[in-house]
Each structure stands twice: as structure tokens, then as C-alpha cells.
Chains A and B, each alone.
Chain A
Amino acid sequence: MSTPAAEHTPGLTSADSIAARARGLTKAYGSGETTVLALDAVDVDIARGRFTAVMGPSGSGKSTLMHCLAGLDTVSAGRVWLGDTEITGLKDRELTRLRRDRIGFMFQSFNLIPTLNALENITLPMDIAGRKPDEKWLDQVIDTLGLRDRLGHRPAQLSGGQQQRVACARALASRPELIFADEPTGNLDSRAGLEVLGFLREAVDRLNQTVVMVSHDPGAAAHSDLVLFLADGRIVDEMERPTAQAVLDRMKRFDVIRARSVDGIPTPGRVSGLTPDLTPKPASGLAPGPASHRAPDPVPGAGPATGDAVRSDEPAPRKD
């Protein structure tokens, strides 16, 4: 049931153009009176071949969303698909294989195994799976990230930026269907951070990968094709072809909501009722259907998938 990403021909059908989707994704912590909803019935589609950023203030549920989409965390309710595979309800072993074979990860820090050198770190997921890396692809990734002369170094011998580049290479090396990056620039200085963002952009544009990045940095989000805004467990807005300034402005409005919700509307996870007043168009997170967003104009050098729109009325694939 797992289909290696490499075999996909993006853009053939609309279903194929969605790398991951969630319907009614709910994640609750605690029980009874003290229940806190980290994610509140979120519907989202991640388009293939695009660079999606997930933004939101601290505690908005953006990391939880990523973890649930990536099969790292269990959901309280709702369903999640990676490509055609429903991952909700999978056992740990299947989830592990899915992460290993079909998803790439980049974390904020501690991305690399200190005992392995750069090359060994890059090929680790494939080594674990007992698969041979695609040498041509691997060379391309290594050259793109400029790691050729660092391959024999251990993580301790690399700078923070280099370490994140190795992590990026590892995420790309197995040509996964989806790459999740959790605050990949959070621990880097601005120059190294820009470099890493540039590589992620390049991974999408030149290597035709799909990237989902969680960040709270508007500057980082500006490198994406689409920004999803999360607040109190719901997707409250999205922004195509964002700029740092636009994202920053949008984020500032959350602070206003926050202030208001604290003042007058105490119900946690229910602030979304206010969003129509504040957003230019209704937030997709409020709609009963899937999140809808328009594809941006084709980016120069992007693969065919980037041109495809994701239809908002696309019915969720069902497994019977």
C-alpha cells in the first residue's frame, strides 16, 4: 500500500496532486473539564510540489498539526492521509515504515546522529530500510546543498548551518513524498537561516519536492508558496505568495484576537468565530469542506505539479 514517492507521476489526477490531507483532525490533551484542544477539527490539503508554511503564535497547534500529518503523533478524532494512504489507525510499525520511506524530516536542532558522518546521516533512512540510495539523485542533492567536501565530517565538525544542510539533504535523499521542516532555521543566524530556506525553496523548484514548514518567523514563511495561519487549533487564514511584511501584518492581528479573547471570550479553541471580521475572506478552516486555496502562478523552474490547482470540492478519499 505504500507507494514510493519516486514512482509517482505528479499531476495525473487531482488526487495525486495532494501530498497529504486531513479531515476533521482533532487533537485534545487532557480530559473532561480540563480538555485543551490543540487542533480543533482541522481540514487541510497539502498540495504536491509546493512549499507550504504553517504559521501561528505559540500554542496555536502548528507543531501538533505537523506531527499529526507526519504520523509522529496520534489524533483524537478525524482522519489523515498521506497520498492515498490513510495513516490514522496505522500501527506503530507501519507508521515507522511510512516515516522512513515516504516522509523526510528536519527539526529545529539536534537533527543529526553525532556518531555518524554527514554522508552516513544523509543516507540513514535508506540504510535503516536496507535500500540502496539512488546515486544520481543523491549526487544531485549533495551538490545542490554544497555538501560534497563535508561528507566525511561528523556533526560536531560542522557549523550549525552546515548541520541543517545535512539534515535537509537527509530529508531529500530518499526522495520522499513530503518533507516536514519544524522551525528549521530556529537555531541559526540569519545568513545560515536564509541559506537553508533557499535550499528548501530549491528543493521544491528544482528537485520537485513537497515541503511543509512550521515556523513562527514571517521572514522564513515568505519563502513559501502558501502560508496557512493557525490560531487556537484552527486554520484561520491562508496567504498565497506571501511577503514577510504581509505575514507579519497578519500575525499582528492574531495578537489583537488574543488580547480580545483573553478579555472577553474565555472559551478556548473557540476564537474562530471572530475571524470573519478580521480576515479578508472566510478562513478555510471554518468551512465544513476541505481547506481550499488557489495555486500560485507557476514559479519559474517549478515542476508541473505547481501549476495544478487543488479543488476545494474534492471529496475526501474514503477507505471502506
Chain B
Amino acid sequence: MLKATLRSFLAHKGRLLLSALAVVLSVAFVAGSLIFSDTVARTFDRLFASTSADVTVAPPKDLEAAVPTGQVRTVPASLAERLAGIEGVESARPDVRAGNITVVDSDNEPVGPTTGSPTRAVGWSADERSVVELTSGRTPRGAGEAVLDADTADAEDLAIGDTLSVQAQPGTFRVEIVGIAAFTAPNPGSALVFLDPEVAAVELLGSADRATSIAVEAAPGVTAEEVDHRVTEALGAGTYRVETADEQAATATDELGEFLDVIKYVMLGFAGIAVLVGIFLIVNTFSMLIAQRTRELGLLRALGADRRQVRRSVLTEAVLLGLFGSTLGMAAGIGFAYGLIRLMSVFGMNLNTTEMVIGWVTPVTAYAVGVGVTFVAAYLPARRAAEVSPMAALADAEIAGVGRPLRTRAVVGSVVGALGAAALAGCAVSTGTGPAASLLGLGVVLTLIATVVAGPLLVRPVIRVLGGAFPALFGPVGRMSQRNALRNPRRTGATAAALMVGLALVGGMSVASASMSRSFDEQIDRTLGADFVIQNANFLPFSQEVTDQVRDTEGVGVVVRQRFAPVAVRLPDGERVETTAAGYEDRVDDVARITYASGDTAAALADGGIAMDAGFAADHGVRAGSTVPVEFPGGQRTGLTVGALTDMESGEGLGVRGGLFLGIAAIEKYVPGGQDSALYVNAADGTSADELRDRLETTLAPYPQVQARDQADYKDLVHDQIAVLLYLVYALLGLAIIIAVLGVVNTLALSVVERTREIGLLRAIGLSRRQLRRMIRLEAVVIAVFGAVLGLVLGLVWGVCIHQVLALEGMTALAIPWGTVVAVVIGAAVVGIAAALLPALRASRMNVLEAIAHE
């Protein structure tokens, strides 16, 4: 029996190829993402462990802001002397690193990565811990000198002798590049400017007695843990964060890990889509192979093979396919991870890695996914194969499965569909974000299952309509292609399902993102009163100079600064909420339209006052006039009086819970050294907006990191942020479509083989090759469009429900991107045509006589 299985596997290898490809893709994504994240994590783990001092003393853990404040937290530099005196400490050195800077070259072009990785100014220290090595020039000595990292120098075309301008919190200063230093370790993508250590403290942190951390080295024979213990003892627990090199590496890797996790989850998302869509492809291939082999299976049964043997034979084939696909997938995954690592270097993350890390988890997961998916997908077809009766060997070769009633599918489909619809309806009427989201998730899964199960039932009615115009448009060729698509609803349904899944996701996500965009637009229209918003494209804070220069610009009327601070509020209901509060200057009413449920701007911004969202206040038992204890960074506590409750639709969301805002003076007081995050600017009387724009652009020329945006520009900026989500969705769609195309190709190729005699007959009675190709193309188009329509309908329903959840978060506008919908349908038709290319070619090349005589 095993021999027969192997023979049959090899005999059908051509037809299994496309299924194998689906397995390969899924496994490649899984393996690739695991290898990539392992490799990167290992690389950085080693890097941080080797470049961290034995023990590092840094400012203590504190509240973390969801929005950067621009503050650099410091320790006294004199702490180093104290630490040096501790027994077992060989040396203690203050380190200075500042990430809140902007570096521009002599043409005011920004120097450094544009992809979000930081640009840092660092005090130079040349010891074995350094991540760089001076390759040319000399070290920086005194003010006005700097060493630039070689990657950045290459990327920005800078050399020794060029001048840079460093915009730091205390002020801007100019430096001349006196040396270039190359990374000796992987570069996570940051641009580094090295300064004389003492100059760095003054220029970056504002005082020679400040440092961002103290690097402590243990004396020979003393372990890092011992030093850690003694330092902690000497300083007192909690006053500073004291970490050994290993802990430091772990913390740093964790921080980087968040970024890597995003990549990993995105990749696993791709793997998930590949697996999901691949399952349909494999199910379909096996079903078709079994349908074709009905007689052969019947013969096996007639010769005495029992059901279990037939089933096992098919499943063995599946496992062989899975093993084969997984092995190729592993290989492809390694290549994929390598490509990804190379790709990271395009974004400035130079991993300098020659060594791939393949943990045992990777191959285990890869094979589990590959073989598991194939096995699961082949299980139903295998059972069906086992049900083939010995009589099938004697019967005329009628394709099994065509005539089997779809009753079970109808029942299961409608029950699951009803449950899913109920869940979605529940989501739509739900008033809490949590339950609504859960119901949404449940509804999405159930309706997806229902559509997949009931898909074949929808084939007839939908394709009758979709292909209804075919006979009129394309004559008998159109009629035959439409009927061919209707011929085996199961097969058409399963083929289209692969496309449907991907398009449903895209449909839902595009409705959600379009609704978000529109909601933000409406919100901007409603609330933004300023002529211009001056802001960093990444929403990072900027230096004080920018604010000063803007204020001094001619024609500028009102300027309102905005700052953020991490806070923790202790609410009357006992809950402690960590969030971010915004600080505004007094004339915020001139640049924004805030609606209040009670109180007003003056009361909110008054000294000792605060405003919060009315809904949030009500949920937590806060009333206008009550005083809430608020905690600022560094353990500073104060009581603030709720002077106003706002009634804004989007008070919550984006991690800024509670919609807290207060006077900017309070933030400046509690977060010293912070930076402005935005300036809201109105034109002075007599100055037109266009004039002001020109002047602001001139003023801001030396500060390329910030831009002046009017409302339209501001909307574009917000749209761009949302678009990132959409790009991801489109990439997922692309992958889903590639696999779905494989499915359509597969189905058509097998159909063409099955219909060999029919095709021979058609050619004999005068169907031209071109007409034959068109017939197959049209069939593919109708299948693809069927999948697209099903997917889009499902996706739009999901999208509307997602919108209901978003509405609870304040994003009330609903937008359906009809352009995208139409584009997807047209795209699906193109996909169909592309998928039909090879099968159509093959059919048209058939020898007429051989085709007619085909058994």
C-alpha cells in the first residue's frame, strides 16, 4: 500500500507542486520571522553585553510618557567620584548621551536617520567598551569638535572638516568634524555624534555636573554582581537604577525588542495569512486529485483495500507533501531572514551579521506548521476518498463530488452564519469598547467560517448574476465559461474562498482606516482653530530655539505652546491611572475649539487647575471642583483642582487616557528640561495666511525637523500615519492574492485536464485557440470576481462593525472607500486573467486528436 501511495505521490507531483508552494510560503514566513528575530536578538544581546560597563548607575525608573516630553533625565556627574571610592570599584566615569537633539549640516539638511531611529550626541570615551573605533582623524578635544560615525558620514556624504550644527535643549552649537569612527559592532540604525565629554555635559545637558549615567568598572577579581550589591548599598535602594552589564543588556534588548516584536508579529501575521489561504489551496488540490482518481480508488477498494488503508494512503501523501514543502520552506525561510536582515541595513540598521541563529524552535515550528497544515487540510478529502465505493471502479468516469448535496454545508453555514451575525449585531449595539471588540472578533471568525462553508451554495446565485452578461458579451464562449464555473460549486467555492479571505480582511481594514481618517479630519475641522501647527513629523518635541524664532517671526499673532508630561492620577474610585497630560498656554481658545461640559479654559489652565474628559470623570467619580492627587515624574506629587470637564468626542484614545490638560507652567515646573511638542500659530491682524506661511518657512529653514502645517497639511500628516497601517494591509493582501492566484491556477489546470475530451471536441468542431483561451480566462475571471465580491461584502460588514467599535473610542465618522472597492473588483478580474494564462495556454496547445481520445 505504501508503494502505491509513493507511486501515486510521484505520479501527481506536478499537480501537487502548487500546493507544495503554498506550504513553502507559509513555512518560509514562519521560519524566516523566527530566524530573523532570533538572529537580531542574539546580535544585540551580545552587543549590549559587551559594550555595557560592569555596572551602570542611571536615574531611577519613573512614569513613562506615551508622548515624548523631550526631557533627558540625568544623574549628578559628581556621583562618579563617590562611586569610585567604593571598595571593589576600579573606575567610575560619567557618561553623556542625549537623544533629544537634531543635527543639521551646513545646508540645513538633517543629518541622521529618517526612519525613527534616534540621532544621539554622546560624550567620547575610548575604551574597550566603545561601540566604535576611530578610523580617521582624531578624537574631539574641547568645544567645537566632533567625531561622526562612519555609517552616517557615508550616508550623508560628510567628511573631516565639514561643519555640523547640533540643536540641543540648552541651545544650538556648531561643531567641526575632526574624526570618523566606524562601528565595531552592529549598528541599530542610530547616528552618533561624539563630543568631548565635558563639552557634551555642558552643551547637551546644560551643566558640567550632569551625566545621563555613570559607568562603573569592577576591580580585577571582583564580580559585577558584587559591585552592583555594594553600589546599591552605598546609594540606597530606589534612588538610582543600578544594573550589571547583563541586566543592562536585557533592558536594552527589551527596548529594542518592542521594535523587533512589531516586525516579528507582522511577519507572523503574514505567515498566518499564508497558512490560512494555503489551507484552502491544499484542500482543493486534494479534493480534485481524489475526484480524478475515483476509479483508481474504487479499483483499490475492489481489490480489497479497506477504507482505513485508502484514507491512510491519502494522508501519507499529504504528510509527504508537508515534509517536502516544509523542507523547502525552511530553506526559503533562511533566505528570507537573510534578505530581511539586508533590508534592515537599507533602513540604517546595520547588523553586520554573518551568523544566522536557528534555534531548535525554528525547525520544530516550521515542520509542525508545514506538516500540520497539510495534514489537516487533507483530512476531509482523505475521508471522502475512503468513502469511494468499489463500484466507482466500474462506473463511467463521472467526477465524484459534483452531485453530492450541499445540505450539510447549508445547515452548518446558516447556523454558524446566524451566530456570527448575532455577534456582529451585538457588537453594533454594544456600548462598551471591551465587549464590543470581543463580539467583533467572535463575529468576524464565525462569519468567515460560515462564508467558507456556505461558499459553494452561493456559487450558483452569485455567478448567475456575475456571469449573466457573459453570453450576451462573449457569445457561446462566455456561456460555456460561466457554466464551467457553475459546474462544480464546491471547487469554485473553495478556489474563491482563498481569495475571499484576503479580500475580506482588506475590506474591513480599509473601511476602518478610511473611517479613522475621516474621523480625524472631522475632529481637526471641529477643534483646530489655528492657522498653522508647527510640529515635528514624528511628533517628537523640538528645542526651545524653534519656539523663540517662531515668536519673533513677523506677522505671527498668537502662539500657543503645547507640552506633554507623564502623570499618574489617583481617582476617587481608588484607581490609579497612568497617562499623559498636555499643557497649554492661556490663549488656547484662540487656536482650538474646546467644548466644555462645565467650567472653561481659564479654570482649566489656572494655577493648580486641570481639565479632564467628562465621560472619564463620570466613570471615576470625579466632579467639577474636586481635587485629585496627581503624581509627576521624580515622585513629585500635588493636588490639582478639576476646573473644567470637556465634552469632546475623541477625548480618549491613542494612549492619552482621560483627556487631561492643564496650564503649561505646571508642566514646566514638574518636568524641567522638557521641550515643546507643538506650536499653534495664528497670523497677526493684517497678515494673510499665505504671507505667514512664507515667513514661517523662512524662519524654520534651519530646523528641518519641524514644519509649519495648515489644516490641510495637518490632515495629510495624520492620514500618512494611518496609511502605514494600510500599507501593511496591502502587503498582506498581496501575499493572500499570490497564494489565491496559485489556487486559481491549480483549479483551472486540473479542470483543463479533466475536460481534455471536451476541449478536444470543441476544437474539432471549430473553436479556435483564441476562443478556447478566452473561455478559460473568463472562467478564471468569474471565479476571482466571485471571491472578491464575497470577500468585499464580508469585509464591508466587518468594516462597519469595526467602525462601531471605533465610534465608542470617539471616531464616529463612517467612510467606505468605494474607490478601493471598485479597484479590488477590477484587480480580482486581472488576477483571474493572470491566473488563467498558463492553463489557457496549455489547453490551447492540446493536440485535438489526442484530446478527443483522452481517457
Contacts and interface: CB of A to CB of B under 8 A. Distances in A.
Contacts of B757: 110
B484 A115 contact: yes
A99 B766 contact: yes
Contacts of A105: 764-765
- The number of chain A residues touching the other chain, given as a range, is 20 to 34
B60 interface: no
A98 to B, nearest CB: 8
A72 B766 contact: no
B768 interface: yes
A124 interface: yes
A116 B483 contact: yes
A128 B763 contact: no
B803 interface: no
A116 B479 CA distance: 8
Interface stretch (A48-56, A89-97, A143-151): A89-97
A9 to B, nearest CB: 24
A101 B480 CA distance: 20
Contacts of A170: 765
Nearest to B486: A115
A170 B480 CA distance: 17
B475 A92 contact: no
B761 A111 contact: yes
A116 B480 contact: yes
A113 B480 contact: yes
B357 interface: no
B595 interface: no
A129 B765 contact: no
A202 B762 CA distance: 26
Given A105-B764, A107-B852, A115-B487, A93 B475 contact: no
Interface in A97-149: 97, 99-101, 104-105, 107, 110-116, 120, 124-125, 127-130
Interface string A49-88: 0000000000000000001001011000000000000000
B347 to A, nearest CB: 54
A115 B769 contact: no
B766 A114 contact: no
Contacts of A112: 761
Contact of A100 (B486, B766, B769, B849): B766
Nearest to A92: B769
Contact of A128 (B476, B483, B769, B849): B476
Nearest to A67: B849
Contacts of B763: 96
Given A93-B768, A96-B769, A107 B761 contact: yes
Contact of A110 (B476, B486, B761, B768): B761
A97 B476 contact: no
Nearest to A98: B766
A96 B761 contact: no
A120 B766 contact: no
Contacts of B758: 110, 113-114
A128 B477 contact: yes
B204 to A, nearest CB: 78
A196 to B, nearest CB: 17
B852 A127 contact: no
A269 B766 CA distance: 33
Contacts of A110: 757-758, 761, 852
B769 A124 contact: no
B134 interface: no
Contacts of A124: 476, 765
B771 interface: yes
B766 A125 contact: yes
Contact of B771 (A73, A99, A107, A128): A128
B534 to A, nearest CB: 67
Given A114-B758, A115-B484, A127 B475 contact: yes
Given A110-B757, A115-B483, A115-B484, A128 B764 contact: no
A130 B475 contact: yes
Interface string B494-517: 000000000000000000000000
B766 A101 contact: yes
Contacts of A96: 763, 766-769
A92 B770 CA distance: 11
Contacts of B462: none
Contacts of A72: 764, 848-849
A115 B480 contact: yes
Contact of B476 (A99, A101, A111, A127): A127
A105 B852 CA distance: 12
Nearest to B398: A156
Nearest to A64: B849
Contacts of B852: 107, 110
Contacts of A130: 475
A56 to B, nearest CB: 18
Contacts of A93: 768-769
Interface string A211-242: 00000000000000000000000000000000
A123 B480 CA distance: 13
Contact of A97 (B483, B486, B768, B848): B768
Contacts of A73: 849
A200 to B, nearest CB: 17
A87 to B, nearest CB: 14
A145 to B, nearest CB: 17
A128 B766 contact: yes
A111 B486 CA distance: 21
Contacts of A107: 761, 764, 852
A107 B765 CA distance: 11
B354 to A, nearest CB: 57
A102 to B, nearest CB: 9
Contacts of B486: 115
A67 B763 CA distance: 13
Interface string A189-204: 0000000000000000
A120 B480 CA distance: 10
B761 A120 contact: no
Contacts of A97: 766, 768
Contacts of A129: 766
Nearest to B847: A73
A110 B756 CA distance: 11
Contact of A120 (B476, B764, B768): B476
Max count, chain A CB within 10 A of own CB: residue among B483, B484, B486, B764: B764
Contacts of B479: 116, 120
Nearest to A93: B768
Interface string B455-492: 00000000000000000000111011001101100000
A268 B288 CA distance: 44
A120 B761 CA distance: 15
B783 to A, nearest CB: 15
Interface string B760-804: 011111111101000000000000000000000000000000000
B776 to A, nearest CB: 14
A152 B132 CA distance: 84
Interface string A260-304: 000000000000000000000000000000000000000000000
Nearest to B485: A115
Given A115-B486, A127-B476, 5 more contacts: A100-B768, A107-B764, A113-B480, A113-B762, A124-B765
CB-CB nearest 5 A-B residue pairs: A100-B766, A115-B483, A127-B476, A99-B766, A96-B768
Interface of B: 475-477, 479-480, 483-484, 486-487, 757-758, 761-769, 771, 848-849, 852
14 contacts: A72-B849, A97-B766, A99-B764, A100-B765, A100-B767, A104-B765, A107-B764, A107-B852, A110-B852, A115-B486, A116-B479, A125-B765, A127-B475, A130-B475
